[in-house]
Amino acid sequence: MTTLRPLCHKPPARLAGPGPGAVLAGGLFAVSRLSWQWSMVAEVFTLYNLFVSLLFCFIISFQVAENATQRMKIAHWGALCCGLGLCNQHTLVLYILVIIPWVFHRLYSHKELSLRILVSLGVCFIAGFLPYIYLPISSYLNTARWSWGDQTTLSGLLTHLLRAEYGTSLR
């Protein structure tokens, strides 16, 4: 005997998956003159766009994750991506200020938020800042070819990290 579903039952909408719109958008982006023109320029905004795209991918994957293990794995990769993205461009903080409370709320609503999880997510986030260790080392060894300023001193490192050269210093 088969059971019939009610006519008003609809499957949950998903934000991810293949579709003609995604194929069209990807194809148009791939043949865009501007994309190819700027692909040869070394600029921070290209990497910034990658990190923003990754964050949106992680958000969608986190939203549709089916179990706690998947959610934890995605949350840890997202925390690492947030840290790495902030190494590249500080304006990513505008996304992160919204994403982090949302992730904590989702984990709390699934009763998966604990001190151990907070610490492990924090470690992943801090691990994303590890590229900053390279700055004083390369400055000391005089191998920092494209870095501005002298990062061998704490003052020079803070000047670079806070983007004081661009007028965005918090000091």
The residue assigned the tokens 């590249």 is 88
63 or 3, which is more confident = 63
Is the pTM here over 0.75, yes or no? Answer: no
pLDDT in tens, 122-154: 999 999 988 888 777 777 777 666 666 667 777
- The two tokens of residue 95 are 């996304």
Torsion over CA: 148, 152, 156, 160 (sign): positive
pLDDT band at 59 (very low <50, low <70, confident <90, very high): very high
In terms of average pLDDT, the best of 6-10, 15-19, 106-110, 163-167 is 106-110
Q: Which of 163, 35, 171 is nearest to 89 (CA)?
A: 163
pLDDT in tens, 12-40: 555 555 567 777 887 888 888 887 887 77
